[in-house]
């Protein structure tokens, strides 16, 4: 039986040109190598699975490549040093996970070994992952070396939490912030990997996985890895991936939104419970709702949505919905959802919090649109609203009746249907 290698490892980029979605960082590194202007300490920051370790390793390989040329700093991937990298057999590249080696003694050991020249090649390289975990005294010991680093040493640090690294250290290192990778790019990457693995997967399946990965290439590959186990034959099916990811069908979310906008509380809640029974979590439903509202807002304002947040098949439905509802209604739901997201953090039962929130949203949709109401009454009474007259406070109105009362106070004698 062939040895199973996780996709994330099998497809780790070996050269800068294979790195995805970090163009500026790669450009600066290549330029810096060409001009010989990269310092002796660099930090790669960013969330999980965006290429910190990958780029650090390629850079280490490039520094040590026997065929290194200034005008083309890519590692050759053929010399003995480069080949040793692929066999994980590099004496002069020391990788440490700071999470398990936080103490000052661990760092001293590194610093001491840095005094000696590399056994072969020009540079000895220390890759320190999760560097923010180092203790205060460990950072202090490191600081001394960073102030006067031996010329044959390079430190490559990686972290998910830059703010935990002392300023004194930060000011002595070259810093690269890696971005979350756009879901379109991730989907393209997944597509090429599926080709190589002889798996066929539709664009909708790949877009769904890319969205779920939330900017992390490693996450996208782990999801794909799992999904491939579901494949019967050679085709990856949308429904299987949806079931696996526990995502609600976007069409259901649009139906739910429709009911919310029409203030149909009873059916909105019934729909919501149906979605939850289908195994989607409250948080997932909430996220899908906010994504849809974002797309709706984009339709209303004419700006393109940030990236493929929702599946293509519901785009026409959202476009139609945007024609029917007011910008005010969309932004009101947005505000309420954002507030709800905060509430979710403090509650163990997100399903219930969200249900209560949906009741509130549907209820608010039933409140009369303030501007229309006032315009209607103005027309009837032909009395324009005085400039400094206070508008009724719709957010604090307890019911449609109390809102009417507020308005009636302003327009005595007016009737509200
Ligand atoms: N920018 C990227 N381009 C291509 N593949 C990537 C990229 N970032 C991550 N990956 C994939 O995810 C895996 C883990 O990436 P890694 O660099 O270890 O992430 P981290 O940022 O957490 O250090 C890699 O082996 C590779 O398959
Ligand atoms: Mg890493
Ligand atoms: Zn080489």
Cβ atoms 176, 41 nearer than 8 A: no
In the chain, ranges of CATH 1.20.272.10 domains: 250-366
Q: What percent of the chain stands above pLDDT 70?
A: 88
* Å from CA of 407 to ligand 1 middle: 59
List residues bridging with 157 in a β-sheet. 43, 128
Q: How confident is the model at residue 23 (pLDDT cuts 50, 70, 90)?
A: very high
Q: Is 97 exposed, middle or buried (0-12, 13-18, 19+ CB in 10 A)?
A: middle
In this prediction, residue 313 has a pLDDT band, given cuts at 50, 70 and 90, of confident
Taking the centre of ligand 1 as the mean of its atom positions, its distance from the CA of residue 63, in whole angstroms, is 20
pTM of the predicted protein model: 0.74
pLDDT at 309: 66
By DSSP bridging, strand 124-129 and strand 200-201 are unpaired
What band does 200 get if pLDDT is binned at 50, 70 and 90?
very high
Percent of residues, the chain, with pLDDT higher than 90: 49
Indicate the length of the chain as a whole number: 417
User: pLDDT at position 391, please?
Assistant: 58
CA-nearest residue for atom 18, ligand 1, is 53
| Measured CA distances, 67 to 34, 75, 166 (Å) | 14, 8, 37
pLDDT at 79 over 90: yes
In this predicted structure, what is the pLDDT of residue 211? Answer: 84
Among 9, 44, 49, the mutation site with the greatest number of ligand 1 atoms within 8 A of its Cβ is: 49
- What letter does residue 162 receive in the DSSP assignment? G
The better pLDDT of the pair 341, 93 is held by 93
Instruction: Please state the rounded mean pLDDT for residues 195-206.
Output: 93
Q: Residue 75: its pLDDT value, please? A: 96
- Higher model confidence: residue 378 or residue 297? 297
For domain 183-245, the CATH architecture is Orthogonal Bundle (1.10)
Q: Could you tell me the two tokens for 209?
A: 């996985």
Overall average pLDDT of the 93-117 stretch: 88
Question: In a mutational test of the pocket of ligand 1, which residue from 12, 52, 187 has the highest number of ligand atoms less than 8 Å from its CB?
Answer: 12
Name residues whose C-beta falls within 8 Å of residue 52's C-beta, 6 or more positions apart in sequence: 44, 45, 46, 129, 158, 159, 178
CA–centroid distance, residue 195 to ligand 3 (Å)? 28
pLDDT recorded at residue 358: 92
| Pair 149, 40: CB distance under 8 Å | yes
Decide if pLDDT at 415 tops 60.
no
Please report the pLDDT score of residue 147 as a whole number: 92
Give the fold, CATH level 3, of 7-177: Rossmann fold (3.40.50)
Q: Whose CA is nearest to atom 16 of ligand 1?
A: 51
Triad 255, 298, 316: Cα angle to 5° = 45
Minimum CA distance residue for ligand 1 atom 7: 51
Distance 149 CA to ligand 2 centre (A): 24
Q: How many angstroms is it from 81 CA to the middle of ligand 3?
A: 6
The pLDDT of residue 417:
43
Mapping DSSP to helix (H, G, I), strand (E, B) and coil, where does residue 103 land? coil
pLDDT value for 6: 95
Give 66 Cα–ligand 3 centroid separation in angstroms: 5
pLDDT digits (tens, 9 = 90+) for 273-312: 998 887 677 777 888 888 889 889 888 888 877 666 677 7
Least confident of 11-20, 25-34, 161-170, 275-284: 275-284
Q: Which two tokens stand for residue 223?
A: 């999801």
- For ligand 1, atom 19, name the residue with the nearest CA: 49
pLDDT at 377: 76
Res 221 pLDDT > 50:
yes
Q: Output the DSSP codes for 29-56.
A: HHHHHHTT---SEEEEE-STTSSHHHHH
Answer whether residue 416 shows pLDDT above 50.
no
Average pLDDT, stretch 320-328?
89
HSE (side-chain half, CA atoms, 13 Å) at 193? 26
Ligand 3 centroid distance, CA of 132 (Å): 31
* Residues whose Cβ atom is located within 5 A of ion ligand 2: 52-53
Mutational test site, ligand 1, from 217, 222, 223, max ligand atoms within 8 Å of CB = 217
- Give the span between the Cα atoms of 354 and 290, in whole angstroms: 12
- Among 45, 54, 61, 158, residue to substitute to test ligand 1 (most atoms within 8 Å of Cβ): 54
- Measured distance CA(282)–CA(273) in Å, rounded: 10
Ligand 1 binding residues, C-beta < 6 A? 8-9, 11-13, 19-22, 46, 48-54, 158, 217-218, 221
Atom of ligand 1 nearest to the CA of 47: 21
For residue 213, how far is its CA from the centre of ligand 2 (angstroms)?
Answer: 16
pLDDT at 388: 61
Task: Compute the distance from residue 80 Cα to the ligand 3 centre, in Å.
Answer: 7
Report helix angle 238-245 to 217-228, nearest 10.
Answer: 120
Domain 250-366 has CATH 1.20.272.10: yes
116 vs 366: which has the higher pLDDT? 116
Tokens of 268: 């909105």
H/E stretch holding 147 reads helix 136-147
Q: Residue 90 has what pLDDT?
A: 85
Distance CA 98, CA 125 (A): 15
Residue whose Cα lies nearest atom 26 of ligand 1: it is 12
**Per DSSP, what are the bridge partners of residue 174?**
42
Q: Are the beta carbons of 52 and 44 closer than 8 angstroms?
A: yes
| Tokens describing residue 83 | 């080949």
Of the candidate ranges 105-119, 341-355, 383-397, the one whose mean pLDDT is the lowest: 383-397
Ligand 1 atom showing the smallest separation from residue 8 Cα: 27
Residue pLDDT, tens place only, 232-267: 888 999 888 888 886 667 888 999 999 999 999 999
* Best probe residue, ligand 1, of 51, 61, 176 (max atoms within 8 Å of C-beta): 51
Rounded to the nearest angstrom, the distance between the alpha carbon of 9 and the centre of ligand 3 is: 20
Considering every ligand atom shown, identify the ligand nearest to the alpha carbon of residue 75 and give its number: 3
């Amino acid at each position: 039986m062939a040895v199973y290698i996780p996709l994330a490892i099998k497809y780790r980029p070996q050269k800068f040109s294979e790195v995805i979605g970090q163009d500026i960082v790669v450009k600066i590194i290549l330029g810096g190598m060409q001009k010989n202007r990269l310092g002796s300490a660099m930090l790669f920051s960013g969330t999980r699975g965006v290429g910190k370790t990958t780029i650090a390793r390629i850079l280490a390989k490039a520094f040590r490549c026997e065929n290194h040329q200034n005008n083309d700093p890519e590692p050759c991937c053929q010399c003995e040093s480069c080949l040793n990298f692929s066999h994980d057999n590099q004496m002069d590249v020391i990788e440490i996970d700071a999470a398990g080696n936080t103490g000052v003694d661990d760092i001293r050991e590194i610093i001491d070994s840095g005094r000696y020249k590399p056994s072969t090649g020009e540079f000895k390289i220390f890759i320190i992952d999760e560097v923010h975990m180092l203790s205060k005294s460990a950072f202090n010991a490191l600081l001394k070396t960073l102030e006067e680093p031996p010329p044959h040493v390079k430190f490559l640090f990686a972290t998910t939490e830059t703010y935990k690294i002392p300023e004194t250290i930060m000011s002595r290192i070259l810093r690269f912030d890696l971005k979350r990778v756009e879901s379109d790019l991730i989907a393209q990457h997944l597509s090429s990997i599926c080709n190589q693995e002889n798996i066929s997967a539709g664009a909708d399946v790949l877009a769904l996985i890319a969205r779920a990965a939330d900017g992390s290439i490693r996450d996208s590959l782990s999801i794909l890895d799992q999904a491939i186990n579901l494949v019967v034959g050679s085709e990856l099916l949308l429904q299987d991936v949806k079931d696996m990811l526990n995502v609600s069908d976007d069409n259901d979310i649009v139906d739910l939104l429709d009911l919310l906008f029409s203030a149909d509380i009873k059916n909105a809640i019934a729909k919501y419970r149906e979605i939850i029974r289908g195994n989607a979590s409250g948080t997932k439903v909430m996220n899908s709702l906010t994504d849809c509202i974002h797309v709706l807002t984009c339709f209303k304002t004419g700006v393109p949505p940030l990236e493929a947040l929702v599946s293509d098949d519901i785009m026409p439905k959202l476009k139609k919905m945007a024609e029917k509802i007011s910008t005010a209604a969309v932004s009101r739901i947005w505000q309420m959802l954002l507030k709800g997201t905060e509430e979710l953090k403090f509650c163990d039962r997100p399903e219930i919090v969200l249900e209560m929130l949906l009741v509130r949203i549907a209820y608010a949709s039933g409140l009369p649109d303030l501007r229309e109401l006032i315009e209607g009454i103005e027309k009837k009474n032909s009395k324009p609203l005085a400039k400094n007259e206070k508008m009724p406070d719709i957010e604090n109105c307890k019911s449609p009746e109390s809102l009417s009362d507020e308005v009636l106070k302003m327009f005595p004698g007016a009737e509200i249907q």
